[in-house]
Chain A
Amino acid sequence: MDLDALTGCLASPACLVTQTTSGFIIGMLLFLVAVGLTLIFGVLKVVNFSHGAFYMFGAYFAMTAYQLSGSFALAVFCGAAGTALLGLIFERVFMSRVYGADVLMQLLVCYAFVLIFDDVVRMVWGPEFRSMGMPAAFQVAPLFIAGGVVPPYYLLLIGVALVAAVILGLGLARTRLGKVIRAAAHNPGMVSALGINTGLIYGGVFALGGMLAGLGGALAAPVRSLTPGMGFSVLIESFIVTVIGGMGSILGALIGALLIGMIRSFGSLGFPLFTEGLMYLFMVIVLVIRPTGLFGKEVV
């Protein structure tokens, strides 16, 4: 425990800026994965254990598109669009068959696909780790804000994730489609009776969830090494985020992800040997006080 380092940092604007942005970066990437997970659970009531694979595919699709085209914007688009398509196919062909099944069966199908997707990546891109490299436009000196270091690429990353959060939040709350999705989550039988194709809604939500994880993977690709199985550790943290924020809540996912980001960022200063433990401890405290998570609703 190094509380001096932590209090010293809290008293220094430079350190505060650096560590807060660091927390935002970790949090926003995590949010993109966790929000898809929570969205799919909210509407389909399925815990998509294979969600980490979409993050992985997003990163690999982006790397391949970047290598072929040299355009980072296209790489991010391909990462997101490719995983959306994959999500749609995965939901329509496989997941839609186990909606009524036992939760263990759903977990089994998802876990099978964790293994299958990892092997697909291994066959297509090879078992070794890969690196996409930072696009030339972002190979610039970091910005210094109040003495704190902020890399321009991370500003973009935070910006894109925030825009995604706002569009998603407003889209679900204010648009007709959003209302239909929320209605389908609440009472799919009634929505279906009104002549709305719930299968399409389900497929669309799964594609959206996959797309968000893929976007996270694509944005992380320039700074993280790519390897088969890379989605797993992200998935575990995403589960922590959704448990803290409340399963099914988008605002919860955002707050949960940012809290985890800040815990990692400031925890590494004050509790360098217990940063991981802090995350789990925080989760336990939240669960004891609010078993449904910070923004989760009681299931009646």
Chain B
Amino acid sequence: MQRTRKPGISRRATLALMGTGAVTFATPWVARAQAKTIKVGMPTILSGRVAQLGTSSRNAVMLEVEKVNAAGGLAGRQIEMVIRDSKGAPQEAARVARELVNTDGCELLIDAEASSGAFAVHEVARDLGVFCIHTNSETSALTADPKQHIPNAFRTARQGVHDSIVGGSYAAAIAKTKGLKKWATCAPDYAYGRDTTGEFTLYLKRFAPDVEIISESWPKLFQPDYTEVVTKILQAKPQALYTCLWGGDLTSYIDQANIYAMFSQMEVFAVNMADYTALTVVKNLPKGIHSGNRYIKTYPATAENAAWGDAYKAKYNEYPTNWSWENATAVMLIAEASKKANSADGKKIAEAMRGLTIKSPFGADGTVTMRAEDQTLIGYAIGWGTTIPQEPYVPDVKPGDWKTILELEAEWKKSKGYA
């Protein structure tokens, strides 16, 4: 009797396939170890109001990855970036991050999310044990709070508390000179806004004890209309206003506050103003807004920084952003740590990265350091100045002093029970 072969897949083949699948999924590193390239996953915000910052993160990463790959990659393995849009939603960021590791086979994560998403991605990194470097979340607690600490997660973003120490002392000096005692605050209502405002006022009051906060506003993140916030602040008649609104929210706010002539009625301290995204988009930029440096190619005033800003502009036809330098730093650190460890393995890179100091165009003294104790970046260029409506936008930046920053940060950590 002749046996006929039934169409479709045979039982034996099915078993073999299932077996192979099970082995591959249960031991993904076996499959990956043979890969010549190393996949690096990157969840970021590529749509919505923050898209420009997400895109600038991607651009900066690609700019640096090209250099690393040209120099031989990570321990001989070429980097392949897998970049996905989280749309700025925390749950989507977490889902994308998990998918990048589990499905796409990414061995390292560059988390280019805002704070709202970064905490979600952090939990994914904790769960999967994958190497993760947060590049955009400036919320201090992400690395300062020991409960958040995991050995595989780092941060190259500037830290809110650093900004607040420098901003607080800068603002206090102006408050004393100009007699600004009544202050108002306006910040987006989420972790970054709450924390940063709290820290700024803490240091403002510390350096200028007679300052009083007479009005607080907490608009929603991405709120389209700020009219009621603007008029509320006008009612309170403060002498100065602090805001940490950013991106499109900040430009909307400025446009809406402008027609109430708010900027002529008080001194405005907007920590996120001096970023090209905001500076170049606002059509009627008021003169004399005080701002922290985000990214400008004229500060630090070095040839390396100017060259980096120009190279970025030449490639993408726009200026880099605050998120750009933070992401570029992540790739630079990964490359140096990999070189030091002579490996592309996440655990070895993490080990080599703790305490690592590298040359950087964004360093206050030409270098930046990944501090070992809390795995966050220090030594980056940080300062405050006032804006003008055309280039160089912030002509005179007063630099912050890292010795003072570190002393006050240690004190702040103690007061928070973090150290």
How far apart sit A233 and B49, CA to CA, in the bound complex (Å)? Answer: 12
Rounded to whole Å, the gap between the CB of A84 and the closest CB of chain B is: 23
Asked whether, in the complex, the Cβ of B228 is within 8 Å of the Cβ of A130, the reply is no
How far apart sit A265 and B49, CA to CA, in the bound complex (Å)? Answer: 24
Chain A residues with CB under 8 Å of chain B are 5, 9, 15, 18-19, 22-23, 25-26, 29, 118, 122, 127-134, 138-139, 141-142, 149, 151, 153-154, 220, 222-225, 227-230, 233-234, 264-265, 267-269, 272-273, 275-276
Asked whether, in the complex, the Cβ of B51 is within 8 Å of the Cβ of A130, the reply is no
Residues of A within 8 A of B284 (CB): 133-134, 139
Asked whether, in the complex, the Cβ of B55 is within 8 Å of the Cβ of A127, the reply is yes
Asked whether, in the complex, the Cβ of B227 is within 8 Å of the Cβ of A134, the reply is no
Chain B residues with CB under 8 Å of chain A are 46-49, 51-52, 55, 216-218, 220, 222-225, 227-232, 234-235, 247-249, 251-252, 255-256, 258-261, 277, 281-284
**How many residue pairs, one in A and one in B, have C-beta atoms under 8 Å apart?**
122
Rounded to whole Å, the gap between the CB of B290 and the closest CB of chain A is: 21
In the A-B complex, the 9 residue pairs with the closest CB atoms: A133-B283, A128-B52, A129-B248, A127-B51, A225-B248, A151-B259, A268-B228, A225-B252, A22-B231
Residues of A within 8 A of B227 (CB): 22, 25-26, 265
Task: Pick 25 A–B contacts, CB within 8 A, sort by A.
Answer: A22-B231, A23-B228, A25-B227, A26-B225, A26-B228, A128-B51, A128-B52, A128-B277, A129-B248, A131-B252, A131-B255, A131-B281, A133-B255, A149-B260, A153-B259, A223-B252, A223-B256, A224-B256, A225-B251, A227-B48, A228-B51, A229-B48, A229-B49, A230-B224, A233-B224
How far apart sit A272 and B216, CA to CA, in the bound complex (Å)? Answer: 8
Asked whether, in the complex, the Cβ of A118 is within 8 Å of the Cβ of B228, the reply is no
Candidates B234, B281, B282; contact of A149 at CB < 8 Å = B234
Asked whether, in the complex, the Cβ of B220 is within 8 Å of the Cβ of A276, the reply is yes
Asked whether, in the complex, the Cβ of B225 is within 8 Å of the Cβ of A29, the reply is yes
Residues of A within 8 A of B256 (CB): 223-224
Candidates A118, A133, A224; contact of B47 at CB < 8 Å = A118
Rounded to whole Å, the gap between the CB of A134 and the closest CB of chain B is: 6
Residues of A within 8 A of B277 (CB): 128
Asked whether, in the complex, the Cβ of A127 is within 8 Å of the Cβ of B260, the reply is no
Beyond the given A23-B228, A127-B47, please list 5 additional residue pairs across the A-B interface where CB-CB is below 8 A: A18-B231, A128-B277, A220-B224, A224-B256, A275-B228
